[in-house]
Chain A
């Protein structure tokens, strides 16, 4: 175990030359970045139950509490189901909450995950992406977080520790916005992000306070002075209207996310485009699409191929829910072919594609110049996706674009031993 970190809270208060938003430079992992975001967001209640790789967040949070840098109720539950239920209830009485899990732990909480979204509880969770058992495995796959994709959870994937920290602040701001009131899960690729340390700017408390307002439930607060009941039984005369409200909230989340990114860019000088990251897409003939830390080998490969004069770009999907249909239509309708790299599987789905490929195909169906879409599955169970893998993928996408034999009605497994 590494020695305890120094008191970053004190450092953060010291203003740097960049003004009030300037924080401190820290060498931290994606998990530790999330823990810093919890501290800066002054989260009231955190529940934990150990499972790799999410448990590293638990470790950093408990360390901060023990060092006196962070004051919150920290409850170790007896299972993930209770872990998520406890914060759900805490949130309804006005507590800002944080929670998280990985792989089958996330799924053990599934009932709680469903009711959290149904009840419109603005919980923020971190999913340290991990392959679902069986086989028991620790490596990253995205199927765990994706399991809640239709329930009313906002879902995003981050690629760096810096982005993890910033996105956690965005998540609180958007989830707790009364126009939205939906839970939000931040997905961090196991190992590649949760356990990799990089230099991160940890913003000052003052800067975070200027960006993130306190959590206010208003007249939806469960309190003796505000007699309400929530989570009722309802019959067929009511359920559809309640679902339609969730649908409207998810639609509104789009605008609230845009506002939040605008403000983050203005106050922190970083954050980028809200829903997708475009990399070398200006004159791209073919594009690759993926989520999370997959961006690293893909960007390296794209640069290599660009040096060879091959016009390939990359679109990294940052927010999966709400799905950025407009941005993807706009960025991809000009290219001839798209290669979607899923770090997940969709056994038996359309063309046996991964989840991202299926949603992307749907989003691009109405565009006038519909590119060919070739779907790939790669990097399952934490397997490395190499730049050579990405080049192999890109070759197939170019082949499809040129009318070659590459099948765009099937899914190609890359990096699997035949």
Chain B
């Protein structure tokens, strides 16, 4: 008698089909082993928006009764495997505004496995992933994040590769044989079977100790009782003083922001700004839907990386050809401001900027037409 569960944390819209394919694969494979399973989504934000952290689950049991017991809860909170379909989700997820940034491994069972698609090193990822307090494993599938669009699925085998890796790290949930058979049946593609098997063999798993990881303490809160909640569905505005938001004492301007809900975990790309070509035209500042531009003392607009959710509007509206460029989020560690770095050393900043743009050209926003992936592959091999 046993039940196993897999949590898939993915980016809304861009990875919805990917997450669904993984969960469906788990359920079908479990059926081959005489088990019973179910796949479901738990929306954080419905309808999903581009890039917002969202979740799907697959639960597999030996018996129907056992499965029911599991499903009578809102969501599994003790998962054998948590899959982060984009490694930038390792920085944490904000599923609802009032919960703040929560660790990617929060719903992972002690001794479970966090499975991440990433081209980064385990140590690099562990600098983002919050300390769990109990040991677990970090397994990697070597691949950049796979992002699709609203209407088109980027069929780049990431789904089957993750299923192959899952068989390696959690054979008690799905065996490799069952996974391969399922892929053959469901996808009818021998190349995908080969991809899954290859991923199975290549998956590295690294033990993580209780104390390893990002030392930042996640936001904590207690839910108030109904008598303590304000009547009339009133939510007070945030006062800058009460939130002790650090204003600029250098003559610049920082708008009041919610310090609990920063929104940056939605970001899969970020803008980098060339202050040397900026004309201070204010268009980015005016059009940013999240008021994320701070005004510097010398009148530039510096995108605040805590508040930016990476929508790309600033790049789209900027009238200067090379001033704002959206760059894959994977290229960055922290949320440091760019203007300060530029102000300190313009030459070094220019080098940094060029490197960021050159090294991470992949567009993480959307996938727009059938055949796009084939075109990309062609360009890459050319």
Cβ–Cβ < 8 Å partners of B96 in chain A: 235, 237
Q: Does A245 contact B229, Cβ atoms closer than 8 Å?
A: yes
Q: Does B232 contact A220, Cβ atoms closer than 8 Å?
A: yes
Q: Does A232 contact B235, Cβ atoms closer than 8 Å?
A: yes
Q: Could you say which interface size class chain A belongs to?
A: 20 to 34
Q: Give the contacting residue for A118; candidates B229, B231, B233; CB below 8 A.
A: B233
Pick from A24-32, A130-138, A222-230, A267-275 the stretch touching chain B: A222-230
Cβ–Cβ < 8 Å partners of B234 in chain A: 219-220, 228-230
Within 8 A of B (CB), among A210-256: 219-220, 227-232, 235-238, 240-242, 244-245, 248-249
Cβ–Cβ < 8 Å partners of A240 in chain B: 226
Q: Report how far A220 CA is from B237 CA in the complex, Å.
A: 12
Q: Does B231 contact A227, Cβ atoms closer than 8 Å?
A: no
CB closest residue in chain B, given A237: B223
Is residue A181 contacting chain B, with contact meaning CB distance below 8 A? yes
Q: Does A120 contact B231, Cβ atoms closer than 8 Å?
A: yes
Q: Report how far A229 CA is from B98 CA in the complex, Å.
A: 14
Q: Does B231 contact A181, Cβ atoms closer than 8 Å?
A: yes
CB proximity of B259 to chain A, nearest CB, Å:
16
Q: Does B226 contact A244, Cβ atoms closer than 8 Å?
A: yes
CB closest residue in chain A, given B96: A235
Within 8 A of A (CB), among B229-252: 229, 231-237
Q: Does B237 contact A232, Cβ atoms closer than 8 Å?
A: no
Q: Contacts A228-B237, A229-B237, A245-B226; is A236 near B74 (CB within 8 Å)?
A: yes
Q: Does A230 contact B235, Cβ atoms closer than 8 Å?
A: yes
Q: Contacts A235-B96, A236-B74; is A230 near B223 (CB within 8 Å)?
A: no
CB proximity of B213 to chain A, nearest CB, Å:
26
Cβ–Cβ < 8 Å partners of A241 in chain B: 224-226, 229
Cβ–Cβ < 8 Å partners of A340 in chain B: none
Cβ–Cβ < 8 Å partners of A242 in chain B: 226, 229, 233
Cβ–Cβ < 8 Å partners of B225 in chain A: 241
CB proximity of A386 to chain B, nearest CB, Å:
47
Q: Does A230 contact B236, Cβ atoms closer than 8 Å?
A: no
Q: Report how far A219 CA is from B236 CA in the complex, Å.
A: 9
Q: Report how far A229 CA is from B74 CA in the complex, Å.
A: 29
Is residue A119 contacting chain B, with contact meaning CB distance below 8 A? yes
Cβ–Cβ < 8 Å partners of B223 in chain A: 237-238
Cβ–Cβ < 8 Å partners of B226 in chain A: 240-242, 244-245, 248
Q: Report how far A240 CA is from B229 CA in the complex, Å.
A: 12
Q: Does A119 contact B232, Cβ atoms closer than 8 Å?
A: yes
Cβ–Cβ < 8 Å partners of B232 in chain A: 119-120, 181, 220, 230
A-B contact number at CB 8 A: 48
CB proximity of A91 to chain B, nearest CB, Å:
11
Q: Report how far A236 CA is from B232 CA in the complex, Å.
A: 18
Q: Does B231 contact A229, Cβ atoms closer than 8 Å?
A: no
CB proximity of A118 to chain B, nearest CB, Å:
7
Q: Does A228 contact B235, Cβ atoms closer than 8 Å?
A: yes
CB closest residue in chain B, given A227: B237
Q: Report how far A182 CA is from B196 CA in the complex, Å.
A: 59
CB proximity of A154 to chain B, nearest CB, Å:
16
Q: Give the contacting residue for A231; candidates B74, B224, B233; CB below 8 A.
A: B233
Cβ–Cβ < 8 Å partners of A231 in chain B: 233
Cβ–Cβ < 8 Å partners of B231 in chain A: 120, 181, 220, 245, 249
CB closest residue in chain A, given B256: A227
Q: Report how far A120 CA is from B224 CA in the complex, Å.
A: 20
Q: Give the contacting residue for A120; candidates B74, B229, B233, B237; CB below 8 A.
A: B233
Q: Contacts A237-B223, A241-B225, A241-B226; is A119 near B74 (CB within 8 Å)?
A: no
Q: Report how far A227 CA is from B96 CA in the complex, Å.
A: 22
Cβ–Cβ < 8 Å partners of A235 in chain B: 96
Q: Report how far A352 CA is from B36 CA in the complex, Å.
A: 43
Interface centre among B225, B234, B236 (most CB of A within 10 A): B234
Q: Report how far A232 CA is from B74 CA in the complex, Å.
A: 22
Q: Does A230 contact B237, Cβ atoms closer than 8 Å?
A: no
Q: Does A119 contact B233, Cβ atoms closer than 8 Å?
A: yes
Cβ–Cβ < 8 Å partners of A244 in chain B: 226
Q: Report how far A219 CA is from B237 CA in the complex, Å.
A: 12
CB proximity of B173 to chain A, nearest CB, Å:
27
Q: Report how far A119 CA is from B237 CA in the complex, Å.
A: 18
CB proximity of A217 to chain B, nearest CB, Å:
9
Cβ–Cβ < 8 Å partners of A227 in chain B: 236-237
CB closest residue in chain B, given A229: B235
CB proximity of B99 to chain A, nearest CB, Å:
9
CB closest residue in chain A, given B45: A233
Q: Report how far A227 CA is from B235 CA in the complex, Å.
A: 9
Q: Report how far A220 CA is from B236 CA in the complex, Å.
A: 9
CB proximity of B210 to chain A, nearest CB, Å:
28
CB proximity of A21 to chain B, nearest CB, Å:
33
Interface of A toward B, CB cutoff 8 Å: 118-120, 181, 219-220, 227-232, 235-238, 240-242, 244-245, 248-249
Interface of B toward A, CB cutoff 8 Å: 74, 96, 223-226, 229, 231-237
14 other A-B residue contacts (CB within 8 Å) besides A219-B234, A242-B233, A244-B226: A119-B232, A120-B231, A181-B232, A220-B231, A228-B234, A229-B235, A229-B237, A230-B234, A232-B233, A232-B235, A237-B96, A238-B223, A238-B229, A248-B226
Smallest CB-CB A-B distances: 3 pairs: A227-B237, A241-B226, A244-B226
* Chain A to chain B contacts (Cβ below 8 Å), 8 pairs: A120-B233, A181-B231, A220-B231, A232-B233, A232-B235, A237-B96, A237-B223, A242-B229
